Amino acid sequence: MVGAPRFRFAPSPTGFFHVGGARTALYNWALAKRTGGTFVLRIEDTDEARNQPEWTQGIIDALEWIGISRNDPTFEGPYFQSQYANEHVAAAERLHAAGHAYYCDLTPDQIQERAKQSGKPGYDGYSRDRGLGPGPGRVLRFRVPEGVTVVNDLVRGRVEFQNETIEDFVLLRGNGSPMFLLANVIDDVSMRVSHVVRAEEHLPNTPKQQLLWEALGHEPPVWAHVPVLVNEQRKKLSKRRDKVALEQYRAEGYLASAMINYLMTLGWAPQGETEIVPWSKIQDEFRLEDVNHSPAFFDLKKLAAFNGEYIRAMSLDDFITACQPWLTGTDVPWTAAQYRPEIFRALAELVQTRIVTLSEVPQLVDFMFLDAPLVDETSWSKTFGSADGVAMLRSGRDALVSCDWNAEALKSAVEAAGSNLGLKLGKAQAPIRVAVTGRTVGPPLFEALELLGRDAVMKRLDAALAKLG
RNA sequence: GCCCCCAUCGUCUAGUGGCCUAGGACACCACCCUUUCAAGGUGGCGGCACGGGUUCGAAUCCCGUUGGGGGUGCCA
């Protein structure tokens, strides 16, 4: 390897951008940044029916979100694999000319039939020495040499493959188009990639690709296969079964910083007593050699905990800014005219310690903006199912009608009304809370009442009393 | 079936032959604080898969077993 290292991230645009892909990208990014190398983004969009152009933009946006910006000098690309098909085919022809590959006219069915008869699975090398030329329906296969292929992997160490267990894989399809193994290697060669850091599922491909590098006359890159991310069943995270779309987490109010930090600690840990660390520390310390070897469970609870930590660590202004999309978006329960930024600002600090994702913000403050609270039936029946609750509501209403209007005075008034009924403050505030906010839980009550104002509060207390008969 | 990878608390991990009576974090439990809920504080529960070696000494090295996972396409 000469010069600065060149890493690459090569996703295929076949769906929403996956958290596993995000972690792989982040690993590559951290390495490229620390070593003064380059991060090459290559979209592997080779003629696959599943590819959709919008997914490509999704990848770029998602990378941007987690700090992998195409405007950063470390970033190179995106390149699109489909644009290099000619090079892939030319390389395949060179391989053929040099005797490293040969054409075969067997159909998949015929191959299967032969495998069945011989009792050995896979392609048996039937056309190796038939000297076929190219033609419609004929695939080009790589002639796997005899011997042993040793893959030196930065994460796994030395991995040995007996070449006889590697079948003569397809380079060019019957229609002449290049296959993944070939295209991937050719692009890595021409983009001068020095380090291939990818998920473990590619490890079985690696001896084939290494053989290709060698047949092409190049020194193979440094390989590193990081463990896959798994679900609670310990199966590889899948788009079908699991919630894996990075975009979805973003939409639910996860912070990029929390997501980045969490993803980096799956399979690796920074030095010290805490895993919550700034990106700069991650970038300084991350080493492939330190990556764990076993699959890592993508734990929503831990992600949530990280997110809560990051939310609480924000300055008040940053927090308020971050909340904007959840306050002024199209799916909030109040109208734009009802929303009062100064009210939210006054309450923001109390909201900040009570949420794990930003999407939980509206339910904590909706009663401040709506004319009448959204009543949670469970809260209502639990609170007013007893005579105590109703009595307290009545007595609380009478106390609030004339007291001073600030949080301290409101608290005292409710406390006094409660003690007359033999209720402690915890019990006494509940009926007021439900009548005013619609729920048994929420931000500290008296601060909210103060902000809401006497008129609005009395209106709600009276409405609740009327409803109770 | 075949090939390959892996194995420390439930989970993510620290640990690279003596500092380990195995450390931290999430989760869980208890207590404190408290106007609900959180947050915060304190404490607790809980692990080196098993069996053989090697060594004065093994979570750390070797072998086997068992158990997981990945791959096995004219997908990427």
Q: Give the nearest nucleotide to A184, CA to C1'.
A: B76
pLDDT digits 0-9 by tens, A354-405: 999 999 999 999 999 999 999 999 999 999 998 899 999 999 999 999 999 9
A203 CB below 7 A from strand B atoms: yes
- CA A166 to C1' B51, in angstroms, rounded, equals 34
A39 touches strand B (CB under 7 A): no
Strands A296-297 and A157-162: unpaired
Q: Is the pLDDT of residue A51 over 80?
A: no
- In angstroms, the CA A436 to CA A63 distance is 43
Distance, Å, A156 CA → B49 C1'? 21
A306 closest-nt by C1' vs CA: B26
Residue A49: what pLDDT?
Answer: 67
Q: What is the pLDDT of residues A137-148, one digit of tens each?
A: 999 999 999 999
CA distance A41 to A31: 14
A33, pLDDT greater than 60 = yes
Chain A residues 259-298, Cβ below 7 A from strand B:
265-269, 273-275, 289-290, 292-297
- The alpha-carbon radius of gyration of chain A (Å, integer) is 31
pTM of the model: 0.95
User: pLDDT per residue over A64-77, tens digit each?
Assistant: 999 999 999 999 98
The pLDDT value recorded for residue A119 is: 85
A201 touches strand B (CB under 7 A): yes
Q: What is the pLDDT of residue A48?
A: 65
Q: Give me the active site residues of A, please.
A: 239
Report pLDDT digits (tens) over A417-451. Answer: 999 999 999 999 999 999 999 999 999 999 999 99
- pLDDT of A343 strictly over 60: yes
Cα separation of A335 and A233, whole Å? 43
- Residue A155 pLDDT > 70, yes or no? yes
Residue with tokens 């809560």: A308
Q: pLDDT tens, A213-226?
A: 999 999 999 999 99
Six-digit token pair at A426? 């915890």
Beta strand A148-153 pairing with A157-162: antiparallel
The residue type at A374: L
Q: Say if residue A256's pLDDT is above 90.
A: yes
Q: In this predicted structure, what is the pLDDT of residue A118? A: 87
